[in-house]
Structure 1
């Protein structure tokens, strides 16, 4: 895996592990949370009435201690909700119990996004921090959605080593290797048809929403309380519109535009604008990195140690790397630093402004000719050199495609020349986000498995309980415009717009926003105003000291 590290939606600092997806695929996982447009698509048939076989009511989650703080369990759910008495599958769950000294407000179900993020790992890593926000009044519950992690993860290869070798051979989607990249994605689709056809048709977002309702029922809750991040907002929005009478306190945070998802237009060019809508603020965030660095000065930003524009310095470094990559021997994984490495580093930095000081340090070192810090930043050696299976806690491109391609069905078959031209246009418009967009569009073009059910809207349910919509004004992949669309469609919703950089509400801490969330979950009080405006406590990321645990979880993978 020679390309620079590419960042999924929610990542965290931890011991390095085997990377079973390509570096372009990792950036795909990051961008998979954004909404975009357009390609010719063929949507899977939707079961319009949502009337399915009788669910096995009375199923219980058998919770058992799995750590000093957590309980773990599984819930048996139908593999296919349309088939009475059919096959079943187990959904893996974890619980961080409520404070026994307080009155419980029920369960709060979480989804970290992705798609393909492990809710079990999310709660193990971040459960206590979220528990603190709601003052310990809820049982915090995470789950691995079907087809993800410990819930029958999609596996398209006979073993992890074969998958790893295949991923390492992935051609670049840039330049003259586009045709080879397309062919490589076609092979992935064929392998998934060969090895994953027993599970992949049943892992759509609609099916996961049904599982969420069974989790609610199994926990004895009349209504579902939920906090979903990024793709988790799409999952939440799907639940809201499929089960409006079961909605409790629900927060959707870093919002995917449900309309473009429902129409099958996802992470590609909008022919009306010539841009990828999910990336509309990406360049602004990159520019803000440079501007905030200049304002902070050399004491707080390493790239400000020379006179002149930081933006110009980064551009000059990129031009230098384009002509002469840096060979790196003394890093943990020897390799090279290229212009693409810089692009990918800047893109991942847009997600998490808390990391901007460190990003400035590694780029300044590269500008001096020392590529070791940047190489170590983007590439870590695997912890397990001989994995038997893909890691259940890691992000899995196979699961991502199974979920995304259920709704996104571009059709370039037999029109590969046109697809290559589209790829070139996206690469020109959005060089930092292009690799992930190409992986989704090409991957779904050659994804051969049809979902048995999808939900394509409508997205305008009116719920008895208010839905809280959270957005940062400069989110690089789920723009505030998407949150406004979701808010405008829902019949009973409030939106909180926080003047902040980064992906999802806690990219930069805002006491104003946190109080709104706390009051919503704990007191059941939504804002009076339709739109609440907040700001980051410390506007400049270069003036923050340290990284909170929640934001550290999202830093690197």
Structure 2
């Protein structure tokens, strides 16, 4: 949820950096490995950013496997240069080039301009990197035909906390169909041109790529600085030694050792807290600032209004599965906005009225669906062949299949809708649910340990209200690191910036563990309602 803190994460060398450096020397410690020049304007529009390609071995343990390349972008330091800061935006599957294009100036400012800021499209991401986008279908028509009549296109219809017997029956009846489809999907992915690279996509290889780039840019054995958020903290957990700040932390031990069908519900344990903050802010703002609310309504009333719309869409879909806005579309739109409080008011005042009009008419505007699809959560854009970058990376890192069936997956969704997030646990498809049926694991996976003695203390940052990287992940990592970790919590959805700046420039960290940063009272998710007012109302 931290757009600003995305730019404020400094991470150092891998606990195993010495081992990695002994094994690889791509780039040879010389900047001639990069040929910086103009960027592809379809991806990067900021003229101050330069781009290059960097050659990588597909398998660092078997150079006969061949070579690929990664697309790299750089924003030059504006002050005395301390080194290179690598940035990964998370996902997995997001474009580092696009994120640097959007947030490069912010990163430079929050580092005092002392670092060249470098980002890249990792293996399995983008049209320029090789291996790049993971394609499993040749056309959108082929995709739609393959998934026709399944929940892959319609999503999962449910209300409340998934207790309606008809909803349960409808979902479980899809289990044999979807298991067969997911198994067939894996075969299709292997048959496409990108299929030959699936075993070389994964976090361990991406860490080695970063080490190789750092050796080329700053010289062998120079300290490596890395910025990441959400999934990017997995890279950081694989890659820790010097000055480290990790924000939006995913528990690395759990991801490395447990099946992903139970991982997604664990990521959502705080999602409903953020939704509660949304409806609370809406109620406080009233109809002047939030079109969902009417005068004098409580947060519970606002929630009831939203649940009523979901129920009407759900009931309409039971009669006609091709209606323009389903309950799944509404939950997708809500979930996407939970990441960014800047989107709360537009959601309430623009998207929500469109959804109401469409659901009430059982036809009409497709704007809400289009917005949900653009978020990439459903991967069925009208004129674009969906990619499988996220599943390819997540599942390459995953443990081997343990005989999990699609019925097991669906039962976990039903259960987590009652225990984790009643409104978001049923979002489908999700990248982590492909893994029991994904045909390939990476040639190299890192599965620990995560508690090595570090050269310097690690700064671990977490938001107390986060829809997908709960504070429990940060606490788990802090416990793994023991005295080597310092936990800083942001209370809200901002001393974080000052702490990060001091860490970037001087290496200064808070004296106390579990430092709590208070909310920024100047920020208003809804007109006339700041985060302090929302948190105060939530405390009752």
TM bracket (short chain): 0.7 to 0.9
Measured against aligned partners, the alpha-carbon deviations of 1:317-348 in whole angstroms (never above 9, x if no partner) come to 22233234699xxxxxx962222222222222
2:201 corresponds in structure 1 to: 203
CA contact (8 A) 1:107 1:140 kept: yes
TM-score (norm 1): 0.75
1:185 corresponds in structure 2 to: 182
1:83 corresponds in structure 2 to: 62
Decide which of 150, 165, 168 is 1:171's aligned counterpart.
150
Decide which of 273, 292, 302 is 1:303's aligned counterpart.
292
Q: Output the CA distance in 2 between the equivalents of 1:225 and 1:306.
A: 51
Query: Which fold has the larger relative contact order, with Cα–Cα distance below 8 Å and residues 6 or more apart in sequence?
Result: 1
Q: CA deviation at 1:399?
A: 2.0
2:84 corresponds in structure 1 to: 107
2:110 corresponds in structure 1 to: 133
Decide which of 188, 191, 195 is 1:194's aligned counterpart.
191
Q: CA deviation at 1:420?
A: 4.2
Q: CA deviation at 1:132?
A: 1.9
1:34 corresponds in structure 2 to: none
Is the partner of 1:344 in helix, strand or coil? Answer: helix
1:452 corresponds in structure 2 to: 443
Measured against aligned partners, the alpha-carbon deviations of 1:472-515 in whole angstroms (never above 9, x if no partner) come to 101111001101111222252222200112xxxxxxxx2x1111
Q: Which runs of 5+ in 1 are unaligned?
A: 1-8, 12-48, 270-274, 328-333, 384-389, 502-509, 547-557
Q: Output the CA distance in 1 between the equivalents of 2:404 and 2:355.
A: 45
Q: Output the CA distance in 2 between the equivalents of 1:468 and 1:167.
A: 46
After TM superposition, the structure 1 stretch with the greater mean CA deviation from structure 2, 62-71 or 252-261, is: 62-71
Matches within 5 A, 1:326-341: 336-341=324-329
Is the partner of 1:449 in helix, strand or coil? Answer: coil
Decide which of 326, 331, 349 is 2:337's aligned counterpart.
349
Q: Does 1:463 align with 2:454?
A: yes
CA contact (8 A) 1:115 1:231 kept: yes
Change (3 A) 1:442 1:276: closer
Q: Which protein is richer in helix relative to its size?
A: 2
2:71 corresponds in structure 1 to: 92
Decide which of 524, 534, 551 is 2:517's aligned counterpart.
534
CA contact (8 A) 2:138 2:385 kept: no
Q: Output the CA distance in 1 between the equivalents of 2:408 and 2:389.
A: 27
CA contact (8 A) 2:265 2:425 kept: no
Measured against aligned partners, the alpha-carbon deviations of 1:511-557 in whole angstroms (never above 9, x if no partner) come to x11111111112221222222211221365214799xxxxxxxxxxx
CA contact (8 A) 2:354 2:368 kept: no
Q: Output the CA distance in 1 between the equivalents of 2:272 and 2:365.
A: 21
Q: CA deviation at 1:415?
A: 4.6
Q: Which runs of 5+ in 2 are unaligned?
A: 4-18, 40-45, 157-170, 375-379, 531-540
Is the partner of 1:474 in helix, strand or coil? Answer: coil
CA contact (8 A) 1:133 1:514 kept: yes
Change (3 A) 1:412 1:489: closer
Change (3 A) 1:163 1:126: farther
Q: Output the CA distance in 1 between the equivalents of 2:353 and 2:327.
A: 15
Change (3 A) 1:432 1:375: farther
Q: Output the CA distance in 2 between the equivalents of 1:435 and 1:75.
A: 40
Matches within 5 A, 1:277-426: 277-308=266-297, 309-324=301-316, 336-362=324-350, 365=353, 369=357, 375-379=366-370, 397-409=387-399, 411=401, 413=403, 415-426=405-416
Q: Output the CA distance in 1 between the equivalents of 2:373 and 2:356.
A: 28
Q: Output the CA distance in 1 between the equivalents of 2:101 and 2:528.
A: 26
Is the partner of 2:279 in helix, strand or coil? Answer: helix
Decide which of 25, 28, 42 is 1:55's aligned counterpart.
25
Q: CA deviation at 1:170?
A: 7.2
2:6 corresponds in structure 1 to: none
CA contact (8 A) 1:10 1:113 kept: no
CA contact (8 A) 1:267 1:437 kept: no
Change (3 A) 1:481 1:157: closer
Q: Output the CA distance in 1 between the equivalents of 2:115 and 2:453.
A: 25
Is the partner of 1:227 in helix, strand or coil? Answer: strand
Is the partner of 1:95 in helix, strand or coil? Answer: strand
Q: Output the CA distance in 2 between the equivalents of 1:414 and 1:127.
A: 42
